[in-house]
Amino acid sequence: MNWEDFFKEEESKEYYINLMKSINKAYTKTTVFPPKEKIFNAFDLTPMSNLKVVLLGQDPYHSAGQAQGLAFSTPCDVKNPPSMRNILKEISSDLNKKSTCEDGDLNPWAKDGVLLINAILTVEEAKPKSHHKLGWEKFTDNLIKFISLNTKDIIFILWGASAIKKEKIIDTSKHYILKGVHPSPLSSYRGFFGCKHFSKTNDILKQLGKAEVRW
């Protein structure tokens, strides 16, 4: 199975047809992020055959130049947003070394087998969660079900309440779940710092005989 199989399944469904109509309209009438050609960037960079980890975010960054179709990631020439700064702090504390992605561009993680996917894949400029309820949540629910059903030994990292809701659609007899609070400044001090999800992920990968992620 590969992502093409997943998209073939979804493309014929009524919710997906309506979602694409709404999204195409939004791109013509308002400013939407990420750039249209980058909406499905995560799938291009992390083929299913290379998948080791699913890291689930909420929705894309809503300021110009930030979103690039990978959860939490920004282009290297853009200042790291607060959530990304907190992720880098936790990596440094957890692994006792700096991240390989100090510039906030997480393309290397994606190429290393980490699917960086948001629950909602698009957003209107300066309006967080503005594309909530267009159908993206159903799309990502179906994606997680597809991964859960057609693979094994995937580590799902769920940060924040909306990501943790997806826990119930993951088959825990075949997969691993690490969950905790979101790295945003609003919640990071309530348990994100010290969660050690980066070392825990690599410990599981080692046990499975897989290459560790170069966080």
Q: Map residue 80 onto helix, strand or coil.
A: coil
For the cut 90, the answer to whether the pLDDT of residue 207 exceeds it is: yes
Write down the mean pLDDT value for the chain.
97
CB neighbourhood size of 97 (10 A):
9
For the cut 90, the answer to whether the pLDDT of residue 13 exceeds it is yes
Nearest to 145 by CA among 166, 160, 159: 166
Q: Please give the pLDDT value at position 161.
A: 87
Domains of the chain (ranges, CATH numbers): 3-207 (3.40.470.10)
Please list, in sequence order, all residues whose beta carbon lies within 8 angstroms of the beta carbon of residue 189, skipping any fewer than 6 positions away: none
pLDDT tens per residue across span 114-125: 999 999 999 999
Q: For the chain, what percent of residues have pLDDT higher than 90?
A: 96
Mean pLDDT confidence for 178-202: 95
In three-state secondary structure terms, 129 is coil
Question: Peptide bond before 34: cis, by omega within 30 degrees of 0?
Answer: yes
Please indicate whether residue 203 is annotated as part of the active site: no
- CA dist 133 and 20 (Å) reads 13
For the question of whether the overall pTM of this predicted structure is more than 0.85, the answer is yes
Alpha helices, DSSP H only, in the chain? 3-11, 14-29, 41-45, 82-95, 107-111, 136-150, 161-164, 197-207
Mean per-residue pLDDT, 27-49: 98
- Alpha carbons 152 and 78: distance in angstroms, whole number: 36
Residue 76 confidence (pLDDT): 97
Mean pLDDT over residues 162-175, rounded?
95
CB contact at 8 A, 64 and 126: no
**For residue 182, pLDDT beyond 90:** yes
Nearest alpha-carbon partner for 32 in 59, 72, 71: 59
**pLDDT, mean of residues 81-110:** 98
Taking the C-alpha atoms of residue 115 and residue 175, their distance in angstroms, rounded to an integer, is 15
Distance CA 65, CA 96 (A): 31
What is the mean predicted confidence (pLDDT) over 22-40?
Answer: 98
Interval 68-87: pLDDT, tens: 999 999 999 999 999 999 99
Give pLDDT, residue 87. 98
For residue 162, pLDDT beyond 90: no
pLDDT digits (tens, 9 = 90+) for 123-143: 999 999 999 999 999 999 999
Q: Which residue in the list 5, 44, 59, 153 is annotated as catalytic?
A: 59
Dihedral angle sign, alpha carbons of residues 60, 61, 62, 63: negative
